[in-house]
Structure formats: C-alpha cells, structure tokens
Structure 1
Amino acid sequence: MIEPGRTVVVRVPATSANLGPGFDTLGLALSVYDEMSVTRLEGDALEIEVTGQGTEEVPRDASHLVVRAMDHAFRAVGRTRPGIRLSAHNVIPHGRGLGSSGAAVVSGLLAAKGLLEGEVELGPELLLKLATELEGHPDNVAPALFGGLTIAWVDESGPQHKKLLVDRGVAPLVLVPEFTMSTKEARTYDPQQVTREDAVFNVSRSALLIAALTQSPELLLAATEDKLHQSYRAQAMPETDRLVQSLRRAGFAAVVSGAGPSVLVLADGPGRRLEAAALAESVTPDPWEALPLAVDFLGGTVRPAEALGG
C-alpha cells in the first residue's frame, strides 16, 4: 500500500531519433532534461502543476501524458493509480523533434516505478514494453530510459534495445527553430515503398554510423547520409532542409532531429561545433536557438525525494 506523502523525483533526458539513416531504429539521449516530483495524496485526488515548455497547452487532468503513462503502468501490474500531486518543470522543447512526448511517457512510467518500489518491481524490459505501447515505436523511449546511443528493434518477444557508449570526440549541437512539426504529420510524407538501391544505401550508412559514433567520429558526415525519409519530409520543413543542406555542404554531419523541425549536428569536436553554430546563424534569416549539448549516458532516473534532500 503506497502511503500518502511518499514523493519521488524523476529526471528524463531529451532524445534525437533516426540520426539520419537509422530510421525508427537509432536514438541518442541528450543533456536537456524534464524534471518532476510526484507525491501520493489521500484518496484519488489529482493535482497538476506545470512550468516551462508547453505550459499553455499541457492539460491539467487525467489526459496529461505523464498521468496516462502512470495509469498504464499501474494497470499493467494489476493496480489502480492512487491520488497524486504532479509538479512538472518542462525544459525539452515541444513539437521540435527532441522526444518531448517520449520523455513524458518515460517520466510517468518511472514515477509509477518509484511509487511502487518495495511492492512491485517494474524492470527495464517491462518499462520499454510499456513505453513502446504508448509511444508507438521504441527509438525515442529507449534512449530516454537507458541513455547513450541506443539501437532499438521489435521481435516476437516485444521491443528490445542495445545501449552503446558514444566516442568522447562526438560533440552534439541542436538547432531549434520557433516553429513546430508533429510526428504524425511528418510521417504522412514517408513513402510506402523504396527502391532496393535506397534500402541498401541506408543499411550501409546505418552500419557505418554505429562505427562513427562509437569509435570513428571523422566518418560522421558520410555515415549520416539518408535516402529513406529526410528528402521526402523536406517539403513540409523547407527551412529545416535548407539548413541541413547548408551545413552538410560545409562538411558538417547535420540531420533532421527526429520528426523535426530541429536540426542535429554531430560535430567531431567542440571547435567544429562552434563553427557549425556560426554557420547556421549566418544562413538562417529567422532565429534558431543553438544548444551545445553532451550525450546523456544515464537515461531517466527516479529517486525518493529525501534522497535528494527534498
């Protein structure tokens, strides 16, 4: 029985999926975090406070994605979610291709895990399964859960993942515009069929990308080439496409981050990252926020509030 007053604190990183050729397969955790505390209340009361990104549009009822994820986790283990107070501080930009919805799903699942600790164990395999059920595919939720570079796939046993460590020479830069793009809309531009040549092209680049990210950053430009989705989605995000092409012509490994419209640059060193940011500023008429980031190696965390001095 979860005692009233129990509080857990959750921290989940942003993610960038696809990374160019690794469509619906590769994901990278980045050092931007949504944080929240969840407190068990008496009865079935639901109180929600939200600050930061998405404050205006985020619902304050049971349709909130974090609450829906908590409900999903409790149902999966045969329990009913208790009353809670949710205090969320959102830093991950919404609708920009940085995994904000995946982070919300993972946040809710980890909050449920923390509240149920000592009664029911929500292990990593179950968390990935539940997150994939809610998100639809595991490429964003796997790095949000586990950190680092993740390869995600689904077999007869359900969603699976492999976490890899990224070479220290890789310096991520995210360029974030003011406009948004929904994943659902972006997927409407994807082709139903591709040529054998394009499929082989992407298989080769995806394999090369694993080598580039884990041990050979000098190969990142060639390794981030893609023929499966980015060119098809360009018509929906012409500003993003122009920026990606400008950066790539200058030798930077730039790709659309997730469904976009943000751009991820995988620079081979901090100096090159600064050069990429300067170039982006010079070729974009409208402001794009440049975020020099690190790869998050820890993934989502949940701790009792008292463990953090709360």
Structure 2
Amino acid sequence: MNIIVPATSANLGPGFDVLGLSLKLYNKVEITRQKITSISIKGEGCNNIYLKKNNTFVKIFNEIYLELTGKTDNFKFNFLNNIPLSRGLGSSSSVIIGAIASAYEMAGFKVKKETILNKALTYENHPDNIAPAVFGGFTVSIIDDFKVYTQKAQLSDKIQAIVVIPNKPMSTNKSRAKLPKHYTAKDSVLNVAYSSFLTSCFIKQDYDNLKITAKDKFHEDIRMKNLPELFDVKKLAYENGSLMSTLSGSGSSFLNIAYKEDSINLQEKLRSKFKDFRVEIIDFDNIGFKILTKS
C-alpha cells in the first residue's frame, strides 16, 4: 500500500492550538510485507541515521498494528519525505497520521477519518496540525472529554500559499517553554475576536479581510524573536500582495497567503530579499491523507 499525508500550517496567527490548514506538499510511504523489517528514506532526513534506527512512524505503526491484530509482522517501509523537518509545517503530524492510517489499512480495518484523528491524540494532544492532515482544507478543532471535534472549510483554488522556509529549525518544545504562563483578559479577548473573525473569513472565503484578523497576542512575536528576520518577511509580504502572513506553527517557516495572480511576484520579492531562505508557492490541499494503492 501507499499513503500520502499533506503538510500543514497551524495556529494561523491568533488560532493558537486550534486553527490549521493543509498544503499540497506530501510525505509518501510505501509499505509491503516481508520477512525482515527494513527502512528506506529519501528526501528530508535521508542522511539522519536516527530516523532509521528510531523511526517514529514505524514505532507508532507497530503499536497500532499489534493492538489491532495481536501480531508483530514484518514490513518494508519506503519513505519519500518532502515536508521539511522542524520547520513548522507539520512533519510530526504527517508521521503520526500516516502511521496510524497505514496500520489500520494493513491490518485490514476500514475506519472513518474521525477514528484516525482521535487515535492520534495519544501521540499529539494539540489538534491544530493533526486535523488538517486528516481532513484537508481549513480546520477548526476543539477537544472535549478526550475527543476531537473538527469543522472544515474548503480552501479556494483562487489562493495559494507562499511559504518562506528558513535554513534554521525551531524546536516546538523549546519555543513553547518561552511562552507566558498567564495572559491578560484584554489580550485573551483580542485573540478570541481575531480567531473568530479569521475563522468566519475562511468559511465564507472572504479572503480580502484576512489581513485585519491575522493578529496574535499569545505566541507569534515571542517565537519570531528567535529568528528576527521573520519580522521583515512579514512586512515585505504585506507590502507585496499578501492577504495574510503568519508564523507557521511554532516556526521557523512563515506562511503567506495571496491570490494566484499575486503569488509569483510575492515569491520573487521574498527570494530577492531573503536569499538564504527557500520560498515556495504551494497550492492548498482539501482532501487530507489518502491511501493510494494496495499491494
């Protein structure tokens, strides 16, 4: 069998741990049964020995497969990784969702995507990345009584992501540790207002008003201080047609959204100014993970 899982961008400014969207940048895994377990990695992380010796995907896959079948069979895992590691584009969520969905498939179980999402809570307790990896599109998620509830909106093909990918990673755990333990009532109300209006803009596809809502009082500026160039990325993006510019997840990547007719110009402007960073135009994904074939 083959599975593809999309990259994701989470938080989206004020939607801390709640909002996310899905990108047409995929990790692909081919899994076949064989006598001895083996792992092959191409693309991102291909030279990382740790990823072969202590592969998180394989670990989660084996746990779920054993739980479902009571067996410990051997498989060949061929990874083609296109999602950058530790850049705020959901590489970890891609691993978690891909491993769980693959284990169900290889064990012969047909389940709803909601089952995969809720199983993922065992490994990731923030749904902002795992929900769009499962469903695609723009997602709003909450956890209530240990269950994820998600609403999804389709993303228009009139817009694209222009993603700035710095040459430095950011650790989610380290950056989260720097965040305040408490927030003022004023900042909390502002974030609720911004995230609520931002959600309505995505649902109605009112992209012209995204800019006034993509403001955050909880985490973004604190995390961006780890890579101050991102403040300049944001400024330049808004000066050149960006509808929305926010830190992607915990960083270090930066998500810009623009209409298709403005994407190439924005990409060229950003590439010219930030020569050490990758700047990629990526379409939005509205499907989420997909099982492609069986073998």
Q: Same fold (TM over 0.5)?
A: yes
Tell whether 2:81 aligns with 1:97. Answer: no
SS at match of 1:56: coil
CA distance in 1, matches of 2:71, 2:212: 50
Deviations 1:194-245 (A, max 9, x none): 1111111111111111222232110011121111111111221212233123
Tell whether 2:8 aligns with 1:19. Answer: no
Q: Which residue of 2 aligns with 1:208?
A: 197
1:15/1:28 contact within 8 Å kept: yes
CA distance in 2, matches of 1:158, 1:10: 25
Bigger Cα displacement from structure 2, 232-241 vs 99-108: 232-241
Q: Which residue of 2 aligns with 1:221?
A: 211
2:12/2:249 contact within 8 Å kept: yes
Counterparts of residues 3-18 of structure 1 (less than 5 Å) = 8-18=1-11
CA distance in 2, matches of 1:302, 1:124: 12
Bigger Cα displacement from structure 2, 69-78 vs 133-142: 69-78
Bigger Cα displacement from structure 2, 192-201 vs 162-171: 162-171
SS at match of 2:122: helix
Tell whether 2:63 aligns with 1:69. Answer: no
* 1:172 CA displacement: 1.4
Select the residue among 46, 52, 65 that pairs with 1:60.
52
Counterparts of residues 110-259 of structure 1 (less than 5 Å) = 110-117=101-108, 120-214=109-203, 215-248=205-238, 252=242, 253-259=244-250
2:117/2:130 contact within 8 Å kept: yes
Select the residue among 23, 26, 36 that pairs with 1:30.
23
CA distance in 1, matches of 2:4, 2:176: 29
1:28/1:143 contact within 8 Å kept: yes
- What 5-or-longer segments of structure 2 have no aligned partner? none
- What one-letter code is carried by the residue in structure 1 that aligns with 2:26? Y
- What one-letter code is carried by the residue in structure 2 that aligns with 1:137? H
CA distance in 2, matches of 1:78, 1:86: 19
Q: Which residue of 1 aligns with 2:273?
A: 283
* 1:84 CA displacement: 0.7
CA distance in 1, matches of 2:85, 2:134: 18
TM-score by length of 1: 0.88
Counterparts of residues 33-52 of structure 1 (less than 5 Å) = 33-42=26-35, 45-52=36-43
SS at match of 1:191: coil
Q: How many residues align?
A: 292
Bigger Cα displacement from structure 2, 68-77 vs 94-103: 68-77
CA RMSD, 1 decimal: 1.8
Tell whether 2:267 aligns with 1:274. Answer: no
Select the residue among 295, 299, 305 that pairs with 2:284.
295
* 1:162 CA displacement: 1.6
Bigger Cα displacement from structure 2, 132-141 vs 15-24: 132-141
Tell whether 2:49 aligns with 1:87. Answer: no
CA distance in 2, matches of 1:59, 1:139: 24
Identity %: 28
* 1:96 CA displacement: 0.9
Deviations 1:61-101 (A, max 9, x none): 3x311112212322443633411100111011111111011
* 1:248 CA displacement: 3.4
SS at match of 1:94: coil
